[in-house]
Amino acid sequence: MKGRTALITGSAKGLGKMTALSLAQMGCDIVLNYKSSEQEALRLATDIEQQFEGVRATTIAADIAVQSDVARLAAEAASWSLTGTVDILINNAGPFIRERRRFADYTSDEVIGLVNGNLLGVMLLDHHLLPGMRSRQWGRIIHFGFGHAGEGRAWPHRAVYASAKTGLVSFTKTLAVEEAGNGITVHMICPGDIRGVNKERTIAEVSGEQDDESPRGRPGSGEDVARVIAFLCLPQSDYLTGNIVDVTGGFDPIKTSIKTPS
Query: What separation in angstroms does the CA of 145 have from each of 9, 10, 188, 253?
Result: 14, 14, 6, 12
8-50 residue pLDDT tens: 999 999 999 999 999 999 999 999 999 999 999 999 999 999 9
For residue 217, what pLDDT is reported?
Answer: 82
Residue type for position 139? G
Whether residue 261 is contained in a domain is answered as: no
Is there a contact between 189 and 247 (Cβ–Cβ < 8 Å)?
A: yes
Whether residue 18 is contained in a domain is answered as: yes
Question: Strand ranges (DSSP E) for 95-183?
Answer: 139-144
For the purposes of burial, counting CB atoms within 10 Å of the CB of 204, is it exposed (0-12), middle (13-18) or buried (19 or more)? Answer: exposed
Whether residue 255 is contained in a domain is answered as: no
Whether residue 262 is contained in a domain is answered as: no
Whether residue 104 is contained in a domain is answered as: yes
CA distance 44 to 222: 15
CA distance 218 to 188: 23
Whether residue 253 is contained in a domain is answered as: no
Mean pLDDT of 148-167: 93
Mean pLDDT of 215-225: 90
Whether residue 212 is contained in a domain is answered as: yes
58-109 residue pLDDT tens: 999 999 999 999 999 999 999 999 999 999 999 999 999 989 999 999 999 9
With bands split at pLDDT 50, 70 and 90, how would you rate the model's confidence at 175? very high
Whether residue 256 is contained in a domain is answered as: no
Question: 91: domain CATH number?
Answer: 3.40.50.720
Residue type for position 223? E
Mean pLDDT of 219-239: 96
Choose between 209 and 257: higher pLDDT.
Answer: 209
For the purposes of burial, counting CB atoms within 10 Å of the CB of 59, is it exposed (0-12), middle (13-18) or buried (19 or more)? Answer: buried
Q: Which domain holds residue 208?
A: 5-247
Instruction: Show the CA angle centred on residue 89, arms to residues 88 and 95, nearest 5°.
Output: 160
Mean pLDDT of 112-132: 98
- Residue 37: phi and psi, rounded to 5, are -90, 65
Domain count, the chain: 1
Query: What separation in angstroms does the CA of 36 have from each of 57, 75, 144?
Result: 18, 20, 20
For residue 262, what pLDDT is reported?
Answer: 47
Mean pLDDT in the chain? Answer: 94
Report the predicted TM-score, pTM, of the whole model to 2 decimal places: 0.94
